[in-house]
Amino acid sequence: MNSELNPGEQRLLLFGGSGAIGGSVHRKFQEEGWRIVVVGRAQQPNSTSVTWDPVSSDSHYDPSDKNRTIEALKDLGPFDAVCWAQGANLNDSIYDLDVTKHENVYRVNVLYVISSLHILLREELLRKPARLCVISSIWQNLARQSKLSYCISKAALRGLVLSAASDLGRDGHVINAVLPSVIDTPMTRENLTREQISKFESATLFGRLPTLEEVASTVYYLCEPSTTAVTGQFISVDLGFSNVRVI
């Protein structure tokens, strides 16, 4: 273990820390005094980070990196919590399905989580009990036009979390998922029309979109040391959009 690290500090392993949600999670945990290690496919500036693509080869290691990633994580861990905020999006439908693109979305959104968690367990890189959190989406339970591959991959995460929650209980680990809806970000306002955004805002009496900070706070709650009995749960951060409608 790296002698510069405080053995008593809480440590988060964060996949996808360069994205909007991942960045917000990083800031929240940093404010709370956690040590954060960001995992991605490229080194992140001004951050303790490693590159790791656990589904790039039959050996589950990046061929160009061999075992250096695992050794680096051993030096930076063990980890009290893990958050998977990486992901791929795709606009497609059953009419214009591209199987290769579909498989890539599944690989990034689902297989990456399974593979990396398997390796973390095998290499004993998690403290017991660890708190694990997957960023899914309300679209794992709802359908939206032209989001075929994305919705299927997020629906698969439900089975992943439930099955893993059952198996992980023997070591006391808990795993849950956070399901954001359309979040108020610059990318959202760039990719959706004003009319589309208004439909989401007017769906509940809150009259707004959820924020990145609200998503990050939910992740933090699920990763706090005291959260040891909540597992196999799916918490929607959507201002009630999934279950409430203004009529």
Where are the chain's structural domains? 11-182+214-237
Q: Sheet of 11-15: strands edge to edge?
A: 49-51, 35-40, 11-15, 79-84, 126-135, 174-180, 234-237
User: What is the Cα–Cα distance from 43 to 99, expressed in whole angstroms?
Assistant: 30
Residue 202 structure tokens? 């007017």
- pTM for the whole structure: 0.91
Instruction: Write 139-146 long-range contacts (CB < 8 A, 24+).
Output: 140/177, 140/179, 140/234, 141/179, 141/234, 141/242, 142/242, 145/93, 146/91, 146/92, 146/93
200 phi/psi in degrees, rounded to 5 = -70, -40
Amino acid type, 48: T
What's the CA gap between 166 and 242, in Å, rounded? Answer: 26
Answer for the pair 220, 83: CB distance below 8 angstroms, yes or no. no
Tokens matching residue 192 = 């959706």
Domain 11-182+214-237 superfamily per CATH: NAD(P)-binding Rossmann-like Domain (3.40.50.720)
> Per-residue DSSP letters for 61-123?
S-TTTTTHHHHHHHHH--EEEEEE-------B-TTS--HHHHHHHHIIIIIHHHHHHHHHHHT
pLDDT tens, N- to C-terminus, the chain (247 residues): 343 556 578 999 999 998 999 999 999 999 999 999 999 876 666 678 888 888 764 444 444 455 678 888 999 999 999 999 999 999 999 999 999 999 999 999 999 999 999 999 999 999 999 999 999 999 999 998 999 999 999 999 999 999 999 999 999 999 999 999 999 988 888 888 899 999 999 999 999 999 999 999 999 999 999 999 999 999 999 999 999 888 8
Number of Cβ atoms within 10 Å of the Cβ of 187? 10
Quote the tokens at residue 181: 């809806």
